[in-house]
Amino acid sequence: MYIRLLTELKNAQGVGKERFKTPYAALDEGVLNVLAAHRLIAGFERKGKNPKRYFDIALSYKNGTGAVGGIKIASTPGRRVYVPYTKIPSVKQGHGIAVLTTSKGVMDGATARKEKVGGQVLFTIW
C-alpha cells in the first residue's frame, strides 16, 4: 500500500541510500509514476515474477539532501478524504504536490484540476 511505500521512501532518504526495494502493488505503481514525473525519485523498475514482484526505486537528491522534504498522509484505511476538483488542496503555496486517485487513474492535483476530475486525496508531498 502507498503508506508503506512513502514511509520506506522517507526512511531511505533519511539514511542516504541510493536505492531501496519495496513489494509490488498496482496503486504504488501509479504513485511512483507521479513521483518520477515530478523528479522526487530518480526512477523505478518493476522486477521479479509472481508472487515475488517488487519495485527497485532509485532515490533523488538535491545538494546532498533528499528531494522529498516532507509527506502528509491524507487518506488512511479508516478515513478517506474525497474532494471535488474545485477543492483540490494547494501544497506549500505551489512548491509541493497533492496526489489523488481519480476515475482516470492516479494523478497530481494540477493535472486533476486541468481535467476537471476530483477524487480521493492520498497524500501531499513537498
Contact assessment for residue 95 and residue 38, using Cβ atoms and an 8 Å cutoff: no
pLDDT of residue 64: 86
> 73-110, pLDDT tens digit by residue?
999 999 999 999 999 999 999 899 999 999 999 999 99
pLDDT of residue 47: 97
pLDDT of residue 1: 85
pLDDT of residue 114: 97
Q: How many domains does the chain have?
A: 2
> Within this chain, do residues 47 and 103 fall inside the same structural domain, yes or no?
no
Beta strands in 10-118 (DSSP E): 19-23, 41-47, 54-59, 61-62, 65-66, 71-73, 82-83, 97-102, 105-108
Beta bridge partners, 38, equal none
> 4-31, pLDDT tens digit by residue?
999 999 999 999 999 999 999 999 999 9
Contact assessment for residue 24 and residue 42, using Cβ atoms and an 8 Å cutoff: no
> Within this chain, do residues 75 and 52 fall inside the same structural domain, yes or no?
no
Instruction: State the residue for C-alpha cell 476530483.
Output: 118
Residue ranges making up the domain that contains 19: 2-66
Residue 84: which CATH number?
A: 3.30.1490.10
pLDDT of residue 30: 97
pLDDT of residue 34: 97
> Within this chain, do residues 77 and 119 fall inside the same structural domain, yes or no?
yes
Last residue of a domain, one of 66, 82, 102: 66
